[in-house]
Amino acid sequence: MASIEQVIADYGPALTRIASAYERDRGLRDDLVQEIAAAVWKALPSLADPAKLKPFVFRIAHNRAVSHVARQAARPRSAELSDDLRDEAGDPETRLVESERSRRLVDAVRRLALPYRQVITLLLEDLSYEEIAEALGLTVNNVGVRINRAKAQLKAMLSDV
């Protein structure tokens, strides 16, 4: 069985990116990451098949993120988008372009309806359609349909600028 330390080492950055897809405010996002980590820690003993750790962790992350969004829906927002996803390598011009691309992608993903945001966030974390289906309790075909619709919506949003 995996330890929480190993899970955090393996999936910590991905969990932060998932939280970023649901929460703009840095402080609330950090709280969400901590909430996800605590939920994973509590649930680890119930993992029946260690080979399915990845979808197990991402299912918990998305369930916590959805709960977080529901709790925060009434709160007014004014925080700026995070640039945490950018690559710090390269020259300043390249970093600026990449930062803008990351910002636009994160903003577009945040504007997707929840079912599409869930699948596209997991796809961006390199989960297979099967792993996404398992993590979200969907069929593989439904995952494919949602991903295609999410990509179409993202393409429309990103081509508007």
CA atoms within 13 A on the CB side of 65: 27
Fold topology of 90-161: Arc Repressor Mutant, subunit A (1.10.10)
pLDDT value at residue 71:
80
pLDDT value at residue 79:
46
21-31 pLDDT, tens digit per residue, is: 888 888 889 99
pLDDT value at residue 76:
57
Q: Coil, strand, or helix at residue 120? A: helix
Q: Coil, strand, or helix at residue 44? A: helix
The residue behind tokens 């916590």 is 64
For the entire predicted model, the pTM comes to 0.65
Provide CATH 1.10.1740.10 ranges for the chain: 1-76
| Selection from 107, 104, 141, 146 nearest residue 123 by Cα | 146
Q: For residue 75, what is the DSSP state?
A: S
Domain 1-76 has CATH 1.20.120.610: no
pLDDT value at residue 160:
67
pLDDT value at residue 74:
55
Residue ranges of the chain with pLDDT lower than 70? 73-90, 160-161
B/e letters for 92-102, b = 16+ CB within 10 Å, e = fewer, are: eeeeeebeeeb
**Is residue 92 within 8 Å of residue 145, measured between CB atoms?**
no
